[in-house]
Each structure stands twice: as C-alpha cells, then as structure tokens.
Amino acid sequence: MMVLKKIPLKYVLRSAIVIAIVILVVLFLVKQKGRGTRDGETFVVKRANVTHFTEQTGIIKAQVGAIVKVGTRATGTLTHLKYQVGDFVKQGELIVKIDDREILSNIKNAEAQVEEQKRDLEAKEAQYIYSKTNYERESRLLEKEFTTRDNVDKARTEMDVVRAEVELAKARVKEAQERLNALNVSLSYTKIYAPISGFVSAVSTQQGETVVAGLSAPNLITIIDPTKLEMWIYVDETDIGRTKPGMKVEYWVDTYRDKRFSGIIHTIYPQPEIKDNIVYYLAIVKIDPEDTSLLKPEMTTHVRIIVEEKANVLVVPNNAVRFEEGKNVVYMKNKDRLERRQVIPGIRDDQFTEIVSGLSEGEVIVIPSVAKKAPASVSSGSKK
C-alpha cells in the first residue's frame, strides 16, 4: 500500500498564490481585448490637404492633323520612294517623285507657244502704231483739203481693226501663259514633300509602280506625328455637371502604373457617346509633348478629374464619419464609454474627410470597429 507524504503548508500557499495571479492576468487580458474590440482605433484630428475628384476612363488618341495621308494628283511611274514603315521623316523632305518627262516636254512646247504669241503681239502693236500715224496724217491733210473724207474714214477703220487685233493678241498671250502655268503646277505634283515631321505608319505603293490619279488622289504614304496626342475622357452623365474646361486631371496607364501624368481639360464635346446604354460626354485633354514619348494612341487611361482642392483643413479618416439618425457624427471616448458628436463634413478624397465644424485640431476620436447602438443624445461638439 502506497503511503502519501504530507505536503508542507507553505508550498500549498505558494501554489495557490501563483494560480491566483495567473487567473487575474488572464482575466485582465481578456477584459482589455474585449474593450479594444468595442472601442476601436483612435485618431487625432489634424490638418491636411484634401482633393475631391471623380474617377473616369479615357483613351489616348491622335490629334486632328497628327495623321496625314500623302497622295498625288499626278499620273506616272514612281521613280523615288525610299521611306518605309517606321522611318522618321522631317517636314519638307522629298518623299516621293513621279516620272515627269512628259510634263517637261509639254512645258517646253507651252513656252514656245508663249514666245510665238508674244512675237505676234509685237507685230500687231507695230502695225497699230503705223495705222494710228496714218490716220492722224490723213486727218491733218483733210483740214487743208489735200485729201478726201473717204481716205480719212478708211485710215480710221484700219486703225480700229488693228487695235482689236492687238487686244486679241494680248488675250492669246495670256491664254498661252496660263497653259504654261497649269503645266508647271502639274509638274509640282510629281515631287511630293513631307507636310509634317513624323514617322511613316503606312506605305501603299512601291518604287517602280505606276500610279493613276483619278477623281480622288491615290494614297501613297501615311505619316503620323507622335508628339500630337490628346486624351478622350468618357465622363459619365452623373458627373458631367461637375466637370468644366480648365479643370486639372491626373491619369495613368496600365503599362506605367507607378507614373502619374497630368493635364487640363481643354474642351467638352456637346455630342453624347452612348455605350452599353450608358451616356458619356467626351472631355478632351491635350497631352504634354514631353509625355508623348511614353504614351501611344489607343492606350486606355485611368483618370481622376480634380473637382475641388482645399489646403490645411481639419480632417478625419473617411470611415470615422457615420451617418446615423439623419446626422453626420463621429465617436468620442468619454471615460469608459463612447459618445457621439455631430459634425458637418466638407469634401473628401480617397483617405480623409474635411470637417467644417464640430471638431477641433488635436481632439481624439474613435473609429468603432463594430456598429454601435445610438446613444439617447448627441452632443453638438466644440465650437471653433
């Protein structure tokens, strides 16, 4: 039979004290944990900048005039076309040349016709001078009765006929000159220069091929200026009333998520765009040429339109302001309990809400972690 030894009393007392201390510590920790769950996180009212914005979606587009399709009004064989897709072209550079031998031959013939008509005009003018002199001489002789009236009339008729022939010769010279000018214009069509600086985005023909100009000029090459971009922002109809030209915008694209671009709304188109039964209005932002090295046409943009900005105002976190019983309130800690205080909020951004009245800088509020039942009364808050 096993015999139990008697435990000294002092060891029993020590064990009881240790157990009691452990139980008290556990109860205290449980009580503190429960209290933190009820009270939630605290926040000290401070001053900060608040930016109110609306979020929209946009797309990068080329500006009007940034894409030029170069065509020709001349007919012939392409004798010069050295640029290909991706090549850079400076404004004024020769990009296309068309065989001009036939036009040059026609120009030489036209120049010869002009010279011929000028010589004919000179002859008519000399003849007119003679006929005018003869008429004046016959008139003087008639005064002295050395000739007849019939001779004077014949001289005047001859002078009038020659004068009409001079005017006709002048018209023929002008007509020949205009034909020459038209041929020179046609000659200019055989040499096509780059209207803008940019990159070749499309080539529709090749050197050695024959182009035929008809009612519409055939497109030979397309040039795009990458520095002339704009952003189309699709503004929802619920936000268009707050969107005005001159407002600042911030935006980013998926390929550069960490880079923020900025701009200003230039204009808002009155014609709506309807997509998926939702009405949008286009707000246009001209893109800074320095940003065009990163942005490309048809990229999707994520846009924030800055509606209002306020600096150095009282703020609290957005989730600190509750709307209860028709009032905006925040929670304040009063000893061991929470009480509500009515506030008047202002604008808000993605982090903070402006407090117009109801709180002072430095006051401590509580952000409840769980919904609280409304107390019987709501304090009006401190006056600033």
Contacts (Cβ under 8 Å, ≥6 apart) of 81: 95, 96, 97, 203, 205, 206, 207, 220, 221
Provide the Cα torsion 333, 358, 312, 44; round to 10°.
0
Q: Is residue 15 part of a domain?
A: no
199 and 93 co-located in one domain: yes
**Looking at residue 73, which CATH number applies to its domain?**
2.40.50.100
Distance between CA atoms of residues 201 and 85, nearest Å: 5
Q: Using CA atoms in the order 315, 348, 310, 286, what is the torsion angle rounded to 10 degrees?
A: 150
Distance of CA 119 to the CA centre of its chain: 60
pLDDT at residue number 33: 45
What is the total count of domains within the chain?
3
Select from 187, 208, 239 the last residue of a domain: 187
**Phi and psi at residue 129, in whole multiples of 5°?**
-60, -45
DSSP, res 134: H
pLDDT at 106 > cutoff 90: yes
Do 217 and 81 have their domain in common? yes
- Structure-token match 């769950």, residue found: 37
Residue 5 has pLDDT above 70, yes or no: no
Of 206, 224, 242, the position where a domain reaches its end is 224
Residue with tokens 């209290």: 35
Give 223's strand partners. Answer: 68, 200
Domain that holds residue 238: 54-64+227-309
Tens digit of each residue's pLDDT (9 = 90 or more) over 37-55: 346 788 999 999 999 999 9
Give the residue from 184, 212, 202, 185 showing the smallest Cα distance to 95.
202
What's the whole-model pTM score? Answer: 0.65
Asked if residue 147 is part of any domain, the answer here is yes
| Tens-digit pLDDT profile for residues 188-240 | 999 999 999 999 999 988 888 888 876 566 788 999 999 999 999 999 999 99
| Proportion of the chain above pLDDT 90, given as a percent | 64
Q: 110-144: per-residue pLDDT in tens?
A: 999 999 999 999 999 999 999 999 988 888 888 88
**Are both 105 and 183 inside the same structural domain?**
yes
What whole-number distance in Å separates Cα of residue 107 and Cα of residue 115?
12
Could you tell me the CATH number of the domain that includes residue 248?
2.40.30.170
**173 shares a domain with 116:** yes
